[in-house]
């Protein structure tokens, strides 16, 4: 029986509606959540993503702004902008879009953003809070969105074995930190696999839930799973496809055709995890405004 599709767009719509109601409650108290995105350079993909964030923030009743800076921007100039936003009480969330030009150290920028406004969840303070289970910090948006998807689709994590493929600071590590916490959406036994893991299939065949986040198309196939596993595909890689109108298409880390015949539930690409990332960014921003007011 083909796997049930996990509809990230539908869940993201639900999250956005909840954020909109919280924005209304804040507006009644004279507070409008403010999200400012800083875009350095002219990367086309980043520009589209930033426009989508600004549009989404306006749709839920936030003040969404974008500061565009040239690719020649120095680290000193960017840090000065971050300092200004840190001091601006109308700005509750700050996001500096990655990647940055090579002359700028991304860690220096991340550490400069006030932890209370770090709605991307990358500041060391927020990383630490997620790891120890503090609830007032901000989790990175993609893994937080994955956790919400699992909960919305009734996927039990308590006592289950989760295999995460990928150890990035953006997805893999924080995903593991969220899933091992006690409480709803947690209490899982987590294995993190990566490029140095021998015999990846040995691990995935023993998993109740597989989360693929390596950016390598087709990494997970149906024969690597045990029947009934839940598969979350975080990967998004553009590949050449002459049959597509643009000549390109998005592909995840999962071989969807084979996996969907073995798994009980699976996220599609696109339309799975992707929509949740912006939705969780909005949720983090409205919570930052609530905590600041």
Rounded (10°) angle between helices 8-27 and 141-152: 110
Tally of CB atoms within 10 A around 264: 17
Which residue numbers are catalytic? 53, 97, 120
Distance between CA atoms of residues 27 and 123, nearest Å: 28
CA distances from residue 254 to 17, 18, 53, 109, 177 in whole angstroms, order as listed: 30, 31, 26, 33, 23
Q: Give the position of tokens 């971050």.
A: 82
Q: Please check whether residue 74 is in contact with residue 108, taking contact to mean a CB–CB distance below 8 angstroms.
A: no
What span, in angstroms and rounded, lies between the C-alpha atoms of 124 and 203? 30
From 36, 172, 46, 141, select the one nearest 101 (Cα to Cα): 46
Give the whole-angstrom CA distance, residue 73 versus residue 196. Answer: 37
The whole-angstrom separation of Cα 200 and Cα 221 is 11
CA gap 159, 96 in Å, rounded: 37
Report how far residue 125's alpha carbon sits from residue 182's, in angstroms, rounded to the nearest whole number: 20
């Amino acid at each position: 029986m083909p796997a049930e599709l996990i509809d990230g767009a539908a869940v993201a719509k639900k999250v956005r509606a909840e954020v909109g109601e919280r924005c209304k409650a804040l507006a009644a108290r004279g507070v409008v959540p403010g999200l400012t995105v800083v875009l350095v350079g002219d990367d086309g993909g980043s520009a589209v993503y930033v426009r989508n964030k600004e549009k989404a923030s306006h749709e839920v009743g936030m003040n969404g702004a974008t500061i565009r800076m040239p690719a020649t921007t120095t680290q000193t100039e960017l840090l000065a902008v971050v300092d200004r936003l840190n001091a601006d009480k109308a700005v509750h969330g700050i996001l500096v879009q990655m990647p940055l030009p090579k002359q700028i150290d991304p860690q220096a920028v991340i550490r400069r953003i006030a932890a209370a406004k770090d709605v991307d969840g990358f500041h060391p303070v927020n990383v630490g809070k997620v790891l120890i289970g503090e609830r007032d910090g901000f989790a990175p948006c993609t893994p937080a969105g994955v956790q919400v998807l699992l909960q919305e689709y009734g996927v039990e994590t308590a006592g289950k074995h989760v295999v995460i493929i990928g150890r990035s600071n953006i997805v893999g590590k924080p995903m593991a930190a969220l899933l091992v916490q006690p409480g709803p959406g947690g209490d899982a036994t987590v294995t993190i696999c990566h490029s140095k893991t021998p015999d990846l299939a040995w691990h995935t065949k023993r998993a109740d839930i597989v989360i693929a986040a390596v950016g390598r198309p087709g990494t997970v196939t149906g024969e690597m799973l045990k029947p009934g596993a839940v598969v979350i595909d975080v990967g998004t890689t553009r590949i050449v496809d002459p049959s597509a109108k643009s000549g390109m298409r998005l592909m995840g880390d999962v071989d969807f055709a084979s996996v969907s015949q073995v798994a009980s539930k699976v996220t599609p690409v696109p339309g799975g995890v992707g929509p949740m990332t912006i939705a969780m960014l909005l949720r983090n921003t409205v919570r930052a405004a609530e905590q600041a007011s």
